[in-house]
A and B are shown apart, each in its own frame.
Chain A
Amino acid sequence: MKQGLLAALFIARKDLRTEFRTKEALNASVSFALVVLMLFSFAFDLGREEFYDISGGLLWLVYVFAGALIVNRSFIREVPNDCLDVLIASPMPPWALFLGKTIASFVLLLIVELISLPVYGLFNNLQWVHAFWPLFGVMTLATWGITITGVAFSAVTVNVRLRELMLPVLHYPLLIPLLVGAMQVSTALIKGEASDIMQELRIVIAFDLIFTSLALYLIEFILVG
């Protein structure tokens, strides 16, 4: 177990190191998030109150699309030079490989979110600073759910020819309960009406627990068969 967790950290560090060097996924994801969030400020002619009502929804739509650009790269990174074969042939358990890749994608997506949140507030005249820490908590929980399922589908589609198309088709329908929960909690937090968010928060936490266990259990079948 300890050896597996250590291996997961080695994989996460390797993925983050290569990503920070090339910035392939990070640049694409940050640019996408910023452009779309900026476009929202032009696209909707809403009153301040009405915009607050949909603020969480818009935010998570952008995060989930930006996340696709990151999780998509997760296993594709291993395709050149057949590196995935070497990792599977190593004594590292498959769940450690998967966990390492999920941690790396999680950190990258969280960075994208933390960069784009102030920009979103700025362009749409949205006050979010008062709720930063609770919002950060929701972002952490929902981002874990997005990445753990996204990286699992990235492993499923790594050898599929139309993987860029397949991944969102498989991934997004599964995310509906998580996104609904995260959107409602985020909206409530931004509006300063966070008194009744426990129900939605429970959905997000349950999603994370169920899909983390399921993905860690199934990953060996996905990678080796």
Chain B
Amino acid sequence: MSAIAADRVWKYFGDYPALRGATLEVPAGACVALLGRNGAGKTTLLRILANLSKPSKGEVTVFGESARDEKIRARIGYLGHGIGVYDDLSAFENLILFGQLMNVPDTKAAANAALERVGLTRVRDGFAREFSRGMRQRLAVARAFLHNPEILLLDEPFTSLDDRAIAVLHELLRDALAKGATIVMSTHQIREAMELATQVALLERGKIVHTGPRTPEMLADPGWLYRMYEEKPQ
């Protein structure tokens, strides 16, 4: 059974189809780099997978169930464009809140462990608004990984991260993959994504035009897939 299956998904914004029958199957334990140019529909597809938006047509299932199911949502971690933490709460209070909402059993222990993993223990009680950009990003990463999700949906996770935050995120993603988690990440930082990806999907004007394993050529030359697709007769 696929961990995630999107079957001929369409999404209209007014008359404009942002997704045009996108079909994607992600096996459990895979790490999919979702590539595509600006406006290709990557964020729209990820938002539908995360139950933040409803497809106009088509169906999305996660572990064979509807993505709208509350039990399924508890198994998903989402990191979007925004960091998704409250500026007027401390780092610890933020993680406690999201831990409670995610039904994490021992929220205090989980929050402390998450802060330690991203190197924010020292500023545990500092307000998120007082943090540097990199620290805020690390807090967002801690929030997304707090409940040890089986599926991680990451929208441009490496954008505007400093070197330390990129290293932290890489480590967390490797750990999650080793534990059998399934990851779908959209990104323009192809080099970083390719290091982790086991599969690659290319989205072009709302359609998945390529899916397959990540090959050594892609790792050596991150632009390889784009060029291959562009050189193919349409």
A residues sitting closer than 8 Å to B (CB atoms) are 3, 6-7, 10-11, 14, 17-18, 21-22, 80-83, 85-93, 224-225
Contacts and interface: CB of A to CB of B under 8 A. Distances in A.
Given A91-B101, A224-B53, A225-B53, A14 B86 contact: yes
A10 B100 contact: yes
Main secondary structure of the interface of B (DSSP, over half): loop
A39 B196 CA distance: 66
B85 A224 contact: no
Main secondary structure of the interface of A (DSSP, over half): helix
Nearest to A21: B88
B103 interface: yes
Contacts of B82: 80-83, 85
Interface residues of B, number: 31
Given A7-B100, A10-B97, A93-B70, A88 B87 contact: no
Interface of B: 47, 50-54, 68, 70-71, 73-74, 76, 78, 80-89, 93, 97-98, 100-103, 143
Contact of A81 (B52, B74, B87, B93): B87
B101 A18 contact: no
B83 A82 contact: yes
A90 B52 contact: no
Contacts of A18: 86, 88-89
A81 B100 contact: no
B88 A22 contact: yes
27 contacts: A3-B103, A7-B101, A10-B101, A14-B97, A17-B89, A17-B93, A80-B82, A81-B82, A82-B80, A83-B85, A83-B86, A85-B50, A86-B78, A86-B84, A86-B143, A88-B51, A88-B52, A89-B50, A89-B51, A89-B76, A90-B98, A90-B102, A91-B70, A91-B74, A91-B102, A91-B103, A92-B70
